[in-house]
Structure 1
């Protein structure tokens, strides 16, 4: 007997609720496993390409792991010390730059911020406490991330999980596909492919965009001679993950530091503005359309909402999974809208119910109807098996295509 769709939705809703509650309760302990799964997902196309080049799956994963270790070691030894040094120096210098900006505004525009006004007092208090608060926040973040358990979890457990998941990724996908409810398997596969296209197109494409922008901003600002230029460039590139946020925060910080450091020399201030202007022109007209593409379907407002909601509900773990969940929810929402537009609720034309099964009266030798029903079931099972085999062959052909 066929299970009603309403009952199936209840069971799947309960399973989803249990998963969300488990994420909320576990929180920090599952973060390394989520990060490991994310790393394996991002690197699986690289492993597949190496397999097509003739390497075995184990050797492909070993080559990827060796390259990742070399890259991580280079980042830790060459990039991170400079990045942390400039970040600490910028935090310590920020109050002085704020005071100088307030003095400039008070001297040039005395009516804008009166000396004894409540606004002036508030801004002065803000400037005096800015350095202390930023220092305490940085100390707290570094301390929380730098704890022994967290460090071991993030630097050891996540790569190990990624290694083993990457090794068995294709087998895991096949096992999950076998667990799909047979009645809805084609629809679920179609939704999963759309989610994969949206998520991979955004994350991998945006990661390449961040790498290009980070290189341009950091090297350009360092060549100009802007203090803390390397840190500001990397910060602006990373924050460009959320459209318009990176250029606003990074550009405002860079121009503020340039005004503080190059006051009286407008040439270098203009050079800093030009670097960010060129970065935005290249990103908007070439990088985003060519690399990320317009098919992703993740609107900036949707990303901000997802980061805010999942971050407030699940903390840092929620912010890590916000983008993949936003991509999945976006695809599911478009699927539901498609179903809504083809339903009677939208068209106003009710779809007629399926006719009831006719009552069979056996007027043939005993057992004939049962034998026919058994043959029909076998034919239906054979058709489903052929459909699954064709789906698997299509997936294999898609993986073999470069």
Structure 2
């Protein structure tokens, strides 16, 4: 006999509370395991495909690990130093950029940019604030001993965790399935399948879109000679997972920098704008329809709220788990709404199921010993 609904609700509530308490208490301690699990989840379809091609699971995992290691080494040698260097240079150049902007506005709009105006004072201090705060942030991340140790720990632990999780992924899924409550196993499998589809579309698909667009923007902006093109491309690609935000933020930043660098050379400014228009065309007509699909199930507002809430409560680790938790909560909410609409609370007593009414009328003459 199944447990009463009240007892089941208690158990599931306790499990949810325990999950969030563990996430809050452990925090950054579980960061390598969260990252390793995310990477293993993304690479599991590749390992499955290699297995179907005839490779043994361990051979497939070793091949994937070697390719990933090669990509990481190339990125660490060729991209990361340039990215850090341009980021620091952008923070240092912020005061000069805002000073040039203030001089430009003063020439064009003298009344607006009076020395005592709010806009003038804001522009004069904004660049210095960005330089000081941004420089402190980058310097602390680069020079902090604890930061270096944490990075080294991540570089060592994440590949190891990913390797073992990827190697045993199918067995772990089968073991979890074996532990499901028998009465609820079909429903949990259905919900897990829907969550997996949503995550696969968003994390694997949208992650690939972000990577492709980030590379496209960075290469395109650097090819036209825009200063800090790699930083702008990385920012635009990273923010692409929120519809339109990546293109708007990256485009505004790139075109703003292009105005200061190429003032008077309008064809170069136009070239920067064209790069983002082409990127938006590729995203909307080629990349997103083929890699993500039309129905992801994660509304942008819900996604932003989840990232903000989990980031505030659990830090960087919370931001990493925000997307899968938001996807799971969205799937469960849609399932609960469907259950509610199929129940008597929604339908009421006036709307009886047609099949039940038909059966009761058909069975009355045969089952009634005295029709009179």
Give your verdict on TM over 0.5.
yes
What's the TM-score, normalizing by structure 2?
0.91
Residue 211 of structure 1: how far off its partner (Å): 2.2
Q: Is the 8 A contact 1:50 1:60 kept in 2?
A: yes
User: Which segments of 5 or more consecutive residues in structure 1 lack a partner in the other structure?
Assistant: 353-402
Which residue of structure 2 lines up, in the alignment, with residue 322 of structure 1?
A: 322
Which residue of structure 2 lines up, in the alignment, with residue 381 of structure 1?
A: none
Which residue of structure 2 lines up, in the alignment, with residue 365 of structure 1?
A: none
Equivalent residue of 1:240, what SS?
helix
User: Which segments of 5 or more consecutive residues in structure 2 lack a partner in the other structure?
Assistant: 353-372
Residue 231 of structure 1: how far off its partner (Å): 2.0
Which residue of structure 1 lines up, in the alignment, with residue 195 of structure 2?
A: 195
Distance 1:127 1:273 in 2: 24
Moved more, 213-222 or 156-165: 213-222
Q: Is the 8 A contact 1:255 1:273 kept in 2?
A: yes
Which residue of structure 2 lines up, in the alignment, with residue 154 of structure 1?
A: 154
Residue 129 of structure 1: how far off its partner (Å): 2.5
Which residue of structure 2 lines up, in the alignment, with residue 2 of structure 1?
A: 2
Which residue of structure 1 lines up, in the alignment, with residue 180 of structure 2?
A: 180
Which residue of structure 2 lines up, in the alignment, with residue 269 of structure 1?
A: 269
Residue 148 of structure 1: how far off its partner (Å): 4.1
Q: Is the 8 A contact 2:2 2:183 kept in 1?
A: no
Residue 225 of structure 1: how far off its partner (Å): 1.1
Equivalent residue of 1:227, what SS?
coil
Q: Is the 8 A contact 2:214 2:234 kept in 1?
A: yes
Q: Is the 8 A contact 2:141 2:147 kept in 1?
A: no
Distance 1:27 1:48 in 2: 32
Distance 1:118 1:228 in 2: 29
Equivalent residue of 1:147, what SS?
helix
1:20-35 equivalences under 5 Å are 20-35=20-35
- Residues 237-287 of structure 1, C-alpha deviations (whole Å, 9 max, x = no match): 111122222112211111111011100111111110111111112212221
Which residue of structure 2 lines up, in the alignment, with residue 245 of structure 1?
A: 245
- Residues 149-176 of structure 1, C-alpha deviations (whole Å, 9 max, x = no match): 3123211111111111111111111110
Residue 110 of structure 1: how far off its partner (Å): 1.2
Equivalent residue of 1:295, what SS?
coil
1:366-377 equivalences under 5 Å are none
Q: CA RMSD in A?
A: 1.7
* Closer, same or farther: CA 147–324 of 1 in aligned 2, 3 Å: same
Moved more, 211-220 or 7-16: 211-220
Residue 89 of structure 1: how far off its partner (Å): 1.3
Equivalent residue of 1:331, what SS?
helix
Equivalent residue of 1:3, what SS?
coil
Q: Is the 8 A contact 1:106 1:115 kept in 2?
A: no
Q: Is the 8 A contact 1:144 1:150 kept in 2?
A: no
Distance 1:167 1:87 in 2: 37
Q: Is the 8 A contact 1:214 1:236 kept in 2?
A: yes
Which residue of structure 2 lines up, in the alignment, with residue 394 of structure 1?
A: none
